[in-house]
Structure 1
Amino acid sequence: MAKNTIPDNQSLEISKLRKRWKIIFLQLVSTAALLALMNRMIKLYGSCSESFVESYSEGSNYWCPSYEHTRGLIWFREQTGSLVLPDAIHGLDQTGNMTLLAPLIMCAILTAIWIYTLTAKESISRNIRRLLIGGMLAWGLLPFAVSWIAAISSYGFHLPWGSADELNHLEYLSKPVLFIFELVFLGIVFAPILSGLMGIWGLSRKLLTWTIGYYLTIIGIHAILTFEGITESVDLGLSPLPAQIGEATLFGGLVSPLSLNLLAVAILLLVYLESGSAVISNMEYASMLPGEARRDPEYVRQFNNVLNGHIAHLIGVMALVSITTAIALEFDDFLISTVSALSGGQWAGQVRESLELQLTYGKVISAGLFLIVVAGMRFILPWQRVTGIVESTLMRFRSSES
């Protein structure tokens, strides 16, 4: 019987799996993709338009609803006179990417507390929740309640917003309200980071997908608010993305700088979701196995094969998707070059210089043409057989290594 079991450190127990280096590797990849995605989003959507900035005098603080937190907090501090949290936590005492460090550390601490609350005993989790909720309520409402009750005992019953200073107690609610607005400015950037970290390390698929939905919403709202028809009526000061995709000058003329940034956002979203979901899927599979099966060598071998396949597909498929997408965006240029080489006329050159193909919808047309050509090539090239040969080769390679 002992021959049919494996050591404890190789079993499929959840506590053991969380310490496997491959599981941790996928979680680290997902975390790195999430942080890189935040940095890329700030560079693309975190600035105000030049005309909006020039409308303010030099040295004055301004704010536009961009994907950036320090500008809004500085403007809010100027409007209210102070902030509840210190500048060190907001990152306002730093410049550049260092402004993100302190809030990211706070997100990591909150994630660790949340995970500990989930995994601790029920009594400990309940006490932690009571302590946090009770502490927040006491800090926010207790001074207001004590002041109002003390004034009632001295002046009789009255509403807390009396005209006299002794009868007005709403000032005790100013800090909680300011704190909520500070969280809003911080949450614009760090709410998806917090939910993403909780989803990755707390194994929550709902939080993973919420982060994806948040970023897609930000991209969609930015596109709507920077649309020319909207900005003519209401200009919020957001910096629009260039209307032209630009000349492909990177990686041997494969992509343009703007398309590379947009492609990076899409790939990082996929890597974050795929690697995070892979961990959750494997953990769910292991949790559904009966106790004896978690130590069965056959189940362990199958689990390891699936996990290795996830890692291989994560690297291979994402690289293939990146290259294919870049080719699809420049496929119109390839077609025009082919026609020009075959016909030698001036038509190809005139089409290549057309402004329409450099606009966003021109690249959508290019990608559509690429899909049509690839779909039509199945009558010439058997894609299923090609992919089958590739998969069988990879399987033989992995079996030879083992």
Structure 2
Amino acid sequence: MSANEVPMSKSLNIKQLRRRWQIIILQLISTASLILLMQRMTRLYGTCSDSFIESYGDSLYWCPAYEHTRGLRWFEQETGSLVLPDFLTGLDQTGEMTVAAPLILCFAITAAWIYALTRGDSTRKWVNIGAAVVFFAWMLLPFLISWITALNHPLNHIDHLWGPLLFVFELVFLGVVFAPVLAGIMGIWGLSKKFLTWTVGYYLTVIGIHAILTFEGITESVDLGLNPLPGQIGEATMWGGLVSPLALDLIEIAILLLLYLESGSAVISHLEYASLLPKDAKRDPDFVRQFENVVNGHLVHLIGVMSLVALTTAIALEFDDFLISTVGALSGGQWSGQVKESLELQLTYGKVISAGLFLVVVAGMRFILPWQRVTGIFETALLRFRSTET
């Protein structure tokens, strides 16, 4: 090693970078955001309506909500048994622990998939062929053996095909909740932007479909039993009167989506940059120092920007209340109090108008307050603080 080269353990080779604490922290942040996102989605979109539950009484019921145990129990009642054991699907647990075993299974599948990626093309080819052969052998061999050895018996050999078909349907019930989690974990630790964006698109699709199926005009014609979100955003009682409990749940889902996608994509972008560097530059002290500064800065900006986004979103949702209170304090009339108690402002489109007013005011304030200079002051102070630490 020459005098102007860093040790191999600190170089910008991909194998060494995968072990850097900054890269691991970004991947852990993305993974934790994904798991918390699944938990928030299940809590908000995973229940059936009270009227639907009451209509079934004490019998098992199922509605297309974002939750897997209810569908599997209903499927077990309809078919008599499940192919997958209860400990693997979480049916033997209650509450939050129902997702523990499927999550462990997702991590195990991801580990096996990443291991297969590190092998040669021929190995991956034979793994895919072997999995397909095992599945079709499980599906067809019992049927063929029973049909050949019992030709004179009644033609009931079709029963041997139900096991694999039931297995596929059980995977569908599990996949509704855990397919995006599996794809997300593969995207984070397998460095696949395609899986990262697919997961985000899946969750946005679930939110959109739920909004359509719980729309009042739809439920009057076809009621699937989904529990609609409240029409009113609710009173702001959290964060010092900034957000309501429902608004907080929605903000958490949005922030977790952004945090998952941003931290996961950052790992891929940084590693792509390092992989494109010339071989000599990967051990150059200047390039290594620059890379570390970029990654450290990304971590700091990630936390700061996401916190700022959450705060400004909460302010935007209650900005109409701030404007009305300001006008009422200046005018002293009863108009502001009547408008403040208006039902329309608590509805969804009222909050959209509030956020739009916030954007208009912030955009107009750039003629009074130079936002770029203000952010530049904070950036300079942060750089000075980091330089004094180093």
User: TM (normalized to structure 1)?
Assistant: 0.94
* Cα distance, 1:17 vs structure 2: 0.8
Q: Could you report, residue by residue, the CA deviation over 1:8-27 in whole angstroms, capped at 9, with x for unpaired residues?
A: 11001111111111111110
Distance 1:150 1:291, change over 3 A: farther
For 1:145 and 1:320, the matched residues in 2 are separated by: 63
Alignment of structure 1 residues 2-401 onto 2, 5 Å = 2-58=2-58, 60-150=59-149, 166-401=154-389
SS in 2 for 1:55: helix
For 2:71 and 2:155, the matched residues in 1 are separated by: 34
For 1:137 and 1:4, the matched residues in 2 are separated by: 59
For 1:137 and 1:299, the matched residues in 2 are separated by: 52
Deviates more, 1:118-127 or 1:356-365: 118-127
SS in 1 for 2:221: coil
* Cα distance, 1:347 vs structure 2: 0.2
For 1:125 and 1:289, the matched residues in 2 are separated by: 28
* Cα distance, 1:107 vs structure 2: 0.6
For 1:273 and 1:112, the matched residues in 2 are separated by: 20
Give the letter aligned to residue 390 of structure 1. F
Q: Could you report, residue by residue, the CA deviation over 1:212-252 in whole angstroms, capped at 9, with x for unpaired residues?
A: 00000000000000000000000000000000000000111
Aligned equivalent of 1:161: none
For 1:55 and 1:92, the matched residues in 2 are separated by: 24
* Cα distance, 1:150 vs structure 2: 4.7
For 2:177 and 2:121, the matched residues in 1 are separated by: 32
For 1:349 and 1:205, the matched residues in 2 are separated by: 50
For 1:226 and 1:286, the matched residues in 2 are separated by: 47
SS in 2 for 1:2: coil
For 1:145 and 1:302, the matched residues in 2 are separated by: 64
For 1:57 and 1:318, the matched residues in 2 are separated by: 44
Q: Could you report, residue by residue, the CA deviation over 1:265-291 in whole angstroms, capped at 9, with x for unpaired residues?
A: 000000000100000001111111121
Give the letter aligned to residue 138 of structure 1. A
For 1:338 and 1:174, the matched residues in 2 are separated by: 68
SS in 2 for 1:135: helix
Q: Could you report, residue by residue, the CA deviation over 1:120-147 in whole angstroms, capped at 9, with x for unpaired residues?
A: 2344333333332222222122222333
Aligned residues: 390
For 1:395 and 1:83, the matched residues in 2 are separated by: 59
* Cα distance, 1:117 vs structure 2: 0.4
Give the letter aligned to residue 123 of structure 2. I
For 2:141 and 2:191, the matched residues in 1 are separated by: 36
SS in 2 for 1:3: coil
Q: Could you report, residue by residue, the CA deviation over 1:187-216 in whole angstroms, capped at 9, with x for unpaired residues?
A: 011001100000000000000000000000
Give the letter aligned to residue 274 of structure 1. E
Distance 1:226 1:10, change over 3 A: same
Give the letter aligned to residue 20 of structure 1. R
Give the letter aligned to residue 51 of structure 1. S
* Cα distance, 1:40 vs structure 2: 0.4
Gaps of 5+ in 1: 156-164
Q: Could you report, residue by residue, the CA deviation over 1:373-402 in whole angstroms, capped at 9, with x for unpaired residues?
A: 000001101111111222222222222222
For 1:138 and 1:7, the matched residues in 2 are separated by: 52
Give the letter aligned to residue 243 of structure 1. G
Deviates more, 1:388-397 or 1:369-378: 388-397
For 1:129 and 1:396, the matched residues in 2 are separated by: 54
SS in 1 for 2:3: helix
For 2:320 and 2:97, the matched residues in 1 are separated by: 41
Cα RMSD for the two superposed structures? 1.3
For 2:372 and 2:147, the matched residues in 1 are separated by: 75
For 1:306 and 1:132, the matched residues in 2 are separated by: 42
For 1:86 and 1:238, the matched residues in 2 are separated by: 28
